[in-house]
Structure 1
Amino acid sequence: MERGQISAWQFFVLIFGYLLGTSFFFRPGGLIAMAKQDAWIVPLWAGAAALIISLIWIKLANQYPGFTIVQICTIAAGKKIGGLIALLYIWYFVHLSALIIRNLGDFMKQTLMPRTPITVFHVMFLLVICYAVIKGIETIARATELLFLVVTLTFLFIFFIALSEWNWDRFQGMFRMNVWKTMKENRTLIGFPFMESIVCMMLFPYVRSRGKVSFILGVVVATLSLSLIVFFTIGVLGVTRASHDLYPMFVIVQEIHIGTFFEHLESTIALILLVSIFIKLSLTYHAAVLGLCQLFRLNDRSWTAISLILLISGLALGFNNVLENIAFIRGYYFEYMLLYGVIFPTLLLFLTWMKQIKGKQKVGPPS
């Protein structure tokens, strides 16, 4: 079982890296295609909605200090119904891990290594993630701190070089969007990436102090950062080009040329994506392993973590191509996330209040 502890700063870095893990790379093109010059506004209201939803999670965590969401399910709803809900959460963590690793495989196969079988990318990366998860949350947090600095400096380097292509004329026609229609079309942004942070309810018990503040701060900073990235993409590529590119950030870096010295810098953005996916996938994979160990009372997580490599790599092949993945995200993902991000937490909170009304005391931390 997990015994590690992380600081409030480490938790903030994990939340920030988790939310931007794949969204900064895969989200801008779709947002710009739907909202045009106003696409940078969409992450702001989506992040605000996610903050309101996350208050339910924080309230639930306060009712059960020292417990993860899997443990809360069995305490609040009983062993049978609560165990079923906990198992659904574990399934979600596994499914989300499969979606994340598939994003990595699609990118590597389409842009860098088209002749390599996609399963090779999945298994090789999952082996690294599995090792990190076996080592525990402290190891993941320390690695994230180091990688966070590398990613930030690399991204700032790309940002300042690409500003030479900036053109304010590309924002002409701003503030003309149909607010309701735009919110409806882009509701999936609330699900991916913001409501995916329900995974972090598996980490609250391992934060030494100020975990809730770090969580909220991480969501706010990630929201502002995603909005800035979309704004930057519009200013450099323009609406037409950005909306027709699957990976607009990759295109921006690919076209950077400074004399004959700085050329073909696309490997830098690939490095950023790999590090970001490592952070995000580590947390979802860790949540799945920890949830299984807590639900079935397993003391050794090593074999559980190793076994999940086969399951997740197999589930990652559920889509035939990247277009099917995008169609699933746009058509069903928001409603899918409502179940785990809103319905189940609200139900657990309601059951908790009902128990308190009947005279049961607030649950204390586990011994």
Structure 2
Amino acid sequence: MPNKNAISLRQFTVLVLLMTVGDSLLVLPAIPASEAKHDAWISALAGLAFSLPILWLFGIANRRFQGLSLIEYVHERLGRTVGTVLGLLFLLFPLTCSAVQIREIGDFMITHILPETPIQAIHLLFIAVILFGAAQGLEPIARTAEILFPWFLLLFTTFVFFLFPQIDFRNVQPVLGEGVKPVLRGALTAAAFPYSELVILLMIAPYVTNREKAGKSLFVGAVLGGLVLITVVSLCICVLGHYVSGSQLYPTYTLAKKISVGLFLERLEAIMAIMWFISAYFKITIYVYALHLGIAQTFKLNGYKPLLLPGGMLLVSLSIAISPNIVHFQTLITRYWPYLDFFYAIVFPLVVIGAHALRKAENSGPGGAAGKMKPEAR
């Protein structure tokens, strides 16, 4: 193993929560708002409910690993050739997800904060910080997340507290006025982005000190992160209304601009930007770490750190090449990306569980190890 860093259950839970929030904090509310209108908060709740079987599937797969990562497990159970093919197919997921999330950061920065700065410069600066974090290893990443999490929680509490006086519950009426189908369409995306993408945690779950309870920690962290997102979606609808929330690329950032306390505390959108940077940073860093760790495990390398620089250069190029402009990028994300997330979140854990069941059946059959009697016992 190239890295034997161990993290505690609490650190793992914090990582799961921050990864669940991730980039969804800024971009997710627009999608259910455009589909379900004023029922977007119901879509967010339904998305969490629909994700529970997926999270349960992750927990089952993790118990089958027996201390191995997903890449190591498919190599051991399915053989070198099939394991390598499946492993490389799986690694396409963190590769594309990392590039997409870096692109989201670049688009946001040139849209709202640094409009005159080339997007390539923003990508280079951000990927440099990500590569530095990934090079430190899993334990320093988890410890840093544990340190920054109270600040994230403080900023989120402040954000909700200052917006609470502006809530107008008339914006959520009538409930289910558009029917159930729009709610289900919004719930599809609400389940895909935050929760299905947690499948990458099957690469680092073996490093949790108490592996037997890692599945429970994953479940708890994902649900807590989901509650944060449900709160944010509900605030967008109750304060901005469904039309503004659905028409904005970053409705949560627009929501933060609504904070106004007296005549001295206004325009605190920096609160939202800091929360987003914290959660998105740890999500991308874990993806980049898992990507390079998986490559090292696939090709039996001694370590993953020499891969970080060329991998970072590839991610910067891919983040630009993945879409020609922000409109095309948003169409790609909203229409097609959820199906890719569901494919990796459902198919690969099922492959792991199926391989485990097949090996168990072979070992317990007449020709297996359990079915071979000693000569003197016959």
TM range (shorter): over 0.9
Query: Is 1:341 the equivalent of 2:345?
Result: yes
1:8 and 2:9 equivalent? Answer: yes
Q: Is residue 287 of structure 2 the alignment partner of residue 284 of structure 1? A: yes
| Deviation (angstroms), 1:259 | 4.0
1:262-294 deviation line (CA, Å, top 9, x unaligned): 233222222111111111111101110110111
CA contact (8 A) 1:256 1:264 kept: yes
Aligned partner (choices 304, 315, 318) of residue 318 of structure 2: 315
1:354 is aligned to 358
The equivalent residue for 2:258 is 255
CA distance 1:168–1:43, shift in 2 (3 Å): closer
Aligned residues of 1:155 and 1:272 also touching (Cα < 8 A):
yes
How many angstroms does 1:358 deviate by?
A: 1.2
The residue type paired with residue 72 of structure 1 is Y
1:42-66, Cα deviation, whole Å (9 max, x unpaired): 1222222222023233222212211
Aligned to 1:365: none
The answer to whether the 8 Å contact 1:11/1:214 transfers is yes
CA contact (8 A) 1:19 1:222 kept: yes
Q: Quick check: 1:293 aligned with 2:296?
A: yes
1:77–1:348 CA contact under 8 A, matched in 2: no
Are positions 1:325 and 2:329 aligned together? yes
Equivalent residue, structure 2, for 1:198: 199
Q: Which amino acid is the alignment partner of residue 114 of structure 1?
A: P
1:131 matched to 2:132? The reply is yes
User: Identity across aligned pairs (percent)?
Assistant: 27
Report how far residue 99 of structure 1 moved.
0.7
1:115 corresponding residue in structure 2 = 116
Helix, strand or coil at the partner of 1:309: helix
Deviation at 1:181, TM superposition (A): 4.4
Distance 2:342 2:249 in 1: 26
> 1:132 & 1:183 partners in 2: Cα distance?
38
State the alpha-carbon separation in 1 of the partners of residues 7 and 178 from structure 2: 43
RMSD of Structure 2 on Structure 1 (CA) = 1.8
8 Å CA contact retained: 1:13, 1:218: yes
3-state SS of 2:116 partner: coil
User: Structure 1, residues 108-136: CA drift from partner, whole Å, max 9, x if none?
Assistant: 00000011011111111111111111111
Give unmatched runs, 5+ long, in structure 2.
370-378
Aligned to 2:162: 161
Query: Where in structure 1 do 4 or more consecutive aligned residues deviate above 6 Å?
Result: none
Alignment of 1:1-367 (within 5 A): 1-184=2-185, 186-209=187-210, 210-317=213-320, 318-359=322-363
Equivalent pair of 2:31/2:334 in contact (CA under 8 Å): no
Which string of whole-angstrom CA distances, capped at 9 and with x for unpartnered residues, describes residues 230-258 of structure 1? Answer: 11111111122222221111112223233
**TM-score normalised by length of structure 2:** 0.91
Structure 2: which amino acid aligns with 1:101? I
Name the SS of the counterpart of 1:299 in structure 2. Answer: coil
Letter in 2 for 1:71: E
Letter in 2 for 1:274: F
Measure, in 2, the Cα distance between the counterparts of 1:152 and 1:122. Answer: 27
Unaligned runs of 5+ in 1: 363-367
| Larger radius of gyration between Structure 1 and Structure 2 | 2
Q: Distance in 1 between matches of 2:226 and 2:268?
A: 26
**Cα distance between partner residues in 2 of 1:161 and 1:338:** 36
Listed one character per residue, the Cα deviations across residues 152-178 of structure 1 (whole Å, up to 9, x for unaligned) are 111211221122222122222113342
- Answer whether contact 1:51 1:219 (CA < 8 A) is retained: no
The alignment covers a number of residue pairs equal to: 362
- Which amino acid is 1:59 matched to? I
Amino acid at match of 1:344: F
- Decide which moves more: 73-82 or 175-184: 175-184
Q: Deviations over 1:82-125 (max 9, x none)?
A: 11110111121111100111111110000000110111111111
In the alignment, residue 243 of structure 1 is paired with which amino acid? G
CA distance in structure 2 between the partners assigned to 1:203 and 1:133 by the alignment: 13
C-alpha distance in 2 between matches for 1:178 and 1:283: 39
Instruction: Report SS of the residue matched to 1:192.
Output: helix
Q: Alpha-carbon deviation of 1:304?
A: 0.8
User: Which residue is 2:375 aligned to?
Assistant: none
Tell me how far 1:324 sits from its aligned partner.
1.5
* CA-CA distance at 1:184 after TM superposition: 3.6
> Is the CA contact (8 Å cut-off) linking 2:256 and 2:269 kept in structure 1?
yes
